[in-house]
Structure 1
Amino acid sequence: MTNRPPSEPESSQKTALGFDEFIAILVAFATIGAILFWSLSRRDSSWNLNGLLSPSPTPSRSVQPNQVLPFPTPKVEPNAAPNNVLPSSPPEAVVEPKTPAFPTSSRAVLPSAQVIPTQSPQPQTPISSSAGLESSITSSALPLVTPAKQKSIIPPPIAFNDVPNNFWGRRFIDVLSSRGILKGFPDYSFRPNQPVNRAEFAAILQKAFDQEPSKTAIAFQDVPAKFWATPAIDRAISAGFLKGYPKKTFKPQQNITRVQVLVALVSGLNLKAPTSQNKILSVYKDSKNIPTYATSKIAAATANGLVVNYPNPQILAPNKVATRAEVAAMIHQALVKRGKLEGISSQNIVRAGSVSPKVSPTRKQNLKGNLSTGG
C-alpha cells in the first residue's frame, strides 16, 4: 500500500464554511438590530429605513403614519432617493407637503403627530371662507357702484315769485330757466309781461342756439364796442337771426314786436315757406295786420309750430310788442323744432289746420237760420 499524505477531512471544510456563515449571520442580525434600535429611538428624525427592510413596495400595516415626516431635515444625504421614502408612507403624507402648517426649522422639534395631521388641513377652511366672504361683499357692493336710477343733470327751474302755477307760459319759462337760457332779476322775479328790446332778444338767442355764424358781423354806429350786448348782437347778425337798419344802425333799445320775433326765428332756422300760405294764414282773424314782408315767414312759423298766442290762438297780434313770456314760448318752440327740447302740450300753440277757419258774417247768419229752422 502506498502511503499518501493525510488529506483534510471533508468535515473540516464544512466546519470552516459553516463557521463563516454563522459569523456572517450574527453580524447581519446584529447590524439589523442596531439599525432597528437606532431607528425606533430616533422617531423625530426624517430617516426612513422601512423601504430598506421591507422587500415589497406595499406599506406595512404595522408601521404607523406618524413615523414619516413630509419634509426632510438638513441631515438627509444628497444621494438618498425620495422614491425610497414615499412608498412606505400613507397617502396623507404625500398630500400634506402642499399645505405646510409649521415652519421647516421647527419640524425636528415638534412631535410627528402634530406635523402630519391625518385629516384635512385646517388652513384651507379660512381661505374658502374668506373667498366666500369676499364674493358676498362684492355682490352686496354692486348696487352701490351702479345706481338703480340715473340722476338728472338738468337743474330744477327757478321759482320766480311773479309766475304763478296757473300762468299760461309757466311751463315754457320753467324749461328755459332750468337750462340757463332765461334768467330773472335780483329780486327773484321774472316779469313775464315786461317788453323785450332788441339787445335783450339778441342775448336770449345767443344762449338758446349754437348756430355757426354764416355772415360777417356789422359794426353798427349805435352799438358801442364795450356795450354789454355787443357780442350777442354780432352773433345774432352773423347767424342770420337779426338784421340791422339803414345807415348801419341796430337800435338795441327798441322794443321788438311779435312779428319780428317770428321772422328772426324762421330766418335763423332757415325754414322754408309753405306753398299754401293763404290757407295757413287764414287761421288768424287778424291776418290782414301781418306786414307784407313777413307774410311768408309767418306762414312758415305757423306751419312749423312756432306761433304761441295768448289768450286767443286765433289772434296773432303781429305788431304788438313781445313780452318776456311770449318770447320764452316762441324760443321754446324753435328749440323743439331743432330737436333740442321735447314738445309740451298747450292750447296756445297754433297748429296749421287745427284752428277753425274764419267764417263770413253772411255765412254765420245762414248757419243760424238753418239751426233755428232745423235745416
Structure 2
Amino acid sequence: MTNRPPSEPESSPKTALGFDEFIAILVAFTTIGAILFWSLSRRDSSWNLNGLLLPNSTPSPSVQPNPVLPSPTAKVEPYPVPNNVLPYSSPEAVVEPKTPLFSTNSATPYRAMLPSVLVIPTQSPQAQTPVSSSIELESSLKSSALPLVTPVKPKSIIPPPIAFNDVPNDFWSRRFIDVLSARGILKGFPDYSFRPNQPVNRAEFAAILEKAFDQKLSKTAIAFQDVPTKFWATPAIDQAISAGFLKGYPKKTFKPQENISRVQVLVALASGLNLKAPTSPNQVISVYKDAKDIPAYAVGKIAAATTNGLVVNYPNLQVLAPNKVASRAEVAAMIHQALVKRGKLQAITSPNIVRRSSPPQASPKISPELSQTSKAKPKGELPTGGSSQ
C-alpha cells in the first residue's frame, strides 16, 4: 500500500469566530458609527460636541445656538416645555438640569453638552402677576394704621397788608386800611405811601367802589359829557351808576375831578346798599353836634348810615363834618363798614365807629342792651365804647 501525504484539514462552516476577529469587527463598526455621529452633529446646529471633547473650551460662535424669537406682530404659539423646566421663568432665564446627560461620572455640566434652553413666555410678566397679590396689597392698605385723608376744599389765602411808610401803627384808620389793602381794594402810590389825608375825587371813589363790591352792569351806561370814552375811570363810573351808588348832575355831567364830601360818601353807600331810613331820622341824626349842617336831601340817608354803623368820625365822635372833603383814610373806614354790612368782611372794634340804634318800632332786631344804653343816655349823646356789628 502506498503512503500518501496528509491532506489539509477542511474548515467547517459552523466554527465560531475567534476573539481577534470579533475585536476587529467591533472596532470597525465603532469607527463607522463615530464617523456617522460626527457628520450628523455637524449638520444639526442644536448639537455641540466641543464641550464634550474639550470641557474647558468655549463654544465656537459658528456652532452656538441661534434661537428664533417671534416677531412683534406675529402670533406666538405656546412653546413646548420639557418636564424638567419650571412653568414660568424670566425671558432670559437658562434652565440647566442638575444631572448630566450621558454619564454620572462626567464633570461636564449639562450646559456644555446641550445648547441653552431659551424659555420665551407667552405672556408679559405684568399679565402673569397673580391677582392675589393686588388683593393682598389692597387689604394691607385698608388695615394700615394711617387714616385715609379726604381732600378738603382749599381755603382762600389773604396776603399780608401793604406796609405803607406814611401810615404809623397808631394811626386811627390803620386797621381799616390794612384790611382793604390786603384784599387789593386800596392801593398806594409808587413811593410806597398811602397819603391818608389826601382828598378823594369822584372818579377815584368810583374806582374804589368797583374793586370793593365788584357788581355787574345792570343798566345802560350814561354817556356823560365830561367823561371821555377812553377815560381811565369810565368803566368804574358806569358800574357805580348802574349799581345805584352814584348819580350824575344835570345836563349829563358827572364831574369826575370834583372832590367828594363826607356826606356824599355816606349817601352813596346807603343808596348802593339799599338801606332804609328809620321812621324818625331827625332823632337819629340829633346825636351829631353839627346835625344842622347836613343837607336836607341827605337826612334820611345819613340816619340810615348811622343806624347801620357806616359812620366813622375822627377825632370827635359827635362831629359829622358832612360838608368836609373826604380823605383817603375816611373813605377807607366807611368802605370797610359798608362791606361789613354787606357780609363780606368781619367787624372790627374801633372807638371812631358811631353806633346809634333806631327807635324800637323801626328796627325790632335791636339787642335789649343797646336799647337800654340808648335810653339811658340824654338826647343827642352817643353811647361810648361802640363797635361795628
TM-score, normalisation: structure 2: 0.56
Q: In 2 relative to 1, CA 137–348 (structure 1 residues): closer, same or farther, beyond 3 Å? A: farther
Aligned to 1:238: 242
What secondary structure, in the 3-state scheme, does the structure 2 residue paired with 1:284 have?
coil
Question: Do residues 274 (structure 1) and 284 (structure 2) align?
Answer: no
Aligned to 2:211: 207
Does the 8 Å CA contact 1:263/1:294 hold for their aligned counterparts? yes
Question: Do residues 255 (structure 1) and 259 (structure 2) align?
Answer: yes
Structure 1 CA distance, aligned partners of 2:327 and 2:168? 16
The superposition leaves residues 305-346 of structure 1 with CA deviations (integer Å, 9 ceiling, x where unpaired) of 111111121111111110001101111111111111111111
Q: In 2 relative to 1, CA 303–247 (structure 1 residues): closer, same or farther, beyond 3 Å? A: same
Aligned to 1:294: 298
Pairing 1:333-352 to 2, within 5 Å after superposition: 333-352=337-356
Q: In 2 relative to 1, CA 308–132 (structure 1 residues): closer, same or farther, beyond 3 Å? A: same
Q: In 2 relative to 1, CA 197–137 (structure 1 residues): closer, same or farther, beyond 3 Å? A: farther
Question: Do residues 317 (structure 1) and 327 (structure 2) align?
Answer: no
Q: Match of 1:272, as an amino acid?
A: K
Q: In 2 relative to 1, CA 295–154 (structure 1 residues): closer, same or farther, beyond 3 Å? A: same
Q: Match of 2:193, as an amino acid?
A: S
Aligned to 2:362: none
The superposition leaves residues 43-72 of structure 1 with CA deviations (integer Å, 9 ceiling, x where unpaired) of xxxxxxxxxxxxxxxxxxxxxxxxxxxxxx
Structure 1, unpaired ranges of 5+ = 1-72, 77-100, 112-123, 361-375
Aligned to 1:156: 160
Does the 8 Å CA contact 1:302/1:351 hold for their aligned counterparts? yes
Q: What is the aligned-residue identity percentage?
A: 73
Structure 2 CA distance, aligned partners of 1:209 and 1:151? 21
Q: Please report how far the alpha carbon of residue 210 of structure 1 lies from its aligned counterpart in structure 2 after TM superposition.
A: 2.7
Q: Please report how far the alpha carbon of residue 135 of structure 1 lies from its aligned counterpart in structure 2 after TM superposition.
A: 4.1
Q: In 2 relative to 1, CA 109–249 (structure 1 residues): closer, same or farther, beyond 3 Å? A: same
Q: Please report how far the alpha carbon of residue 235 of structure 1 lies from its aligned counterpart in structure 2 after TM superposition.
A: 1.2
Pairing 1:104-143 to 2, within 5 Å after superposition: 109=97, 131=137, 135=141
Structure 2, unpaired ranges of 5+ = 1-79, 100-129, 358-372, 382-389
Does the 8 Å CA contact 1:308/1:326 hold for their aligned counterparts? yes
Q: How many residues are matched?
A: 249
The superposition leaves residues 24-52 of structure 1 with CA deviations (integer Å, 9 ceiling, x where unpaired) of xxxxxxxxxxxxxxxxxxxxxxxxxxxxx
Q: In 2 relative to 1, CA 133–159 (structure 1 residues): closer, same or farther, beyond 3 Å? A: farther
Q: In 2 relative to 1, CA 75–296 (structure 1 residues): closer, same or farther, beyond 3 Å? A: closer
Q: In 2 relative to 1, CA 138–236 (structure 1 residues): closer, same or farther, beyond 3 Å? A: farther
The superposition leaves residues 62-119 of structure 1 with CA deviations (integer Å, 9 ceiling, x where unpaired) of xxxxxxxxxxx9899xxxxxxxxxxxxxxxxxxxxxxxx95469999469xxxxxxxx
Question: Do residues 189 (structure 1) and 186 (structure 2) align?
Answer: no
Q: Match of 1:248, as an amino acid?
A: K
Does the 8 Å CA contact 2:81/2:87 hold for their aligned counterparts? no
The superposition leaves residues 271-312 of structure 1 with CA deviations (integer Å, 9 ceiling, x where unpaired) of 111112122112111111110000000001011111111112
Q: Please report how far the alpha carbon of residue 213 of structure 1 lies from its aligned counterpart in structure 2 after TM superposition.
A: 3.3
Structure 2 CA distance, aligned partners of 1:322 and 1:134? 68
How large is the RMSD of aligned CA atoms in angstroms?
Answer: 3.7
Q: In 2 relative to 1, CA 223–142 (structure 1 residues): closer, same or farther, beyond 3 Å? A: same
Structure 2 CA distance, aligned partners of 1:141 and 1:162? 51
Aligned to 1:53: none
Structure 2 CA distance, aligned partners of 1:203 and 1:235? 9
Aligned to 1:117: none
Q: Please report how far the alpha carbon of residue 231 of structure 1 lies from its aligned counterpart in structure 2 after TM superposition.
A: 1.0
Q: In 2 relative to 1, CA 289–74 (structure 1 residues): closer, same or farther, beyond 3 Å? A: closer
TM-score, normalisation: structure 1: 0.58
Structure 1 CA distance, aligned partners of 2:141 and 2:224? 71
Aligned to 1:284: 288
Does the 8 Å CA contact 1:215/1:240 hold for their aligned counterparts? no
Q: Match of 2:183, as an amino acid?
A: R
Q: In 2 relative to 1, CA 236–358 (structure 1 residues): closer, same or farther, beyond 3 Å? A: same
Q: Match of 1:287, as an amino acid?
A: A
Q: In 2 relative to 1, CA 133–241 (structure 1 residues): closer, same or farther, beyond 3 Å? A: same
Question: Do residues 329 (structure 1) and 333 (structure 2) align?
Answer: yes
Q: Which has the higher helix share?
A: 1
The superposition leaves residues 193-245 of structure 1 with CA deviations (integer Å, 9 ceiling, x where unpaired) of 11100000000011111334343321111111111111111111121111111
Q: In 2 relative to 1, CA 142–161 (structure 1 residues): closer, same or farther, beyond 3 Å? A: farther
Structure 1 CA distance, aligned partners of 2:185 and 2:173? 15
Q: Please report how far the alpha carbon of residue 164 of structure 1 lies from its aligned counterpart in structure 2 after TM superposition.
A: 1.1
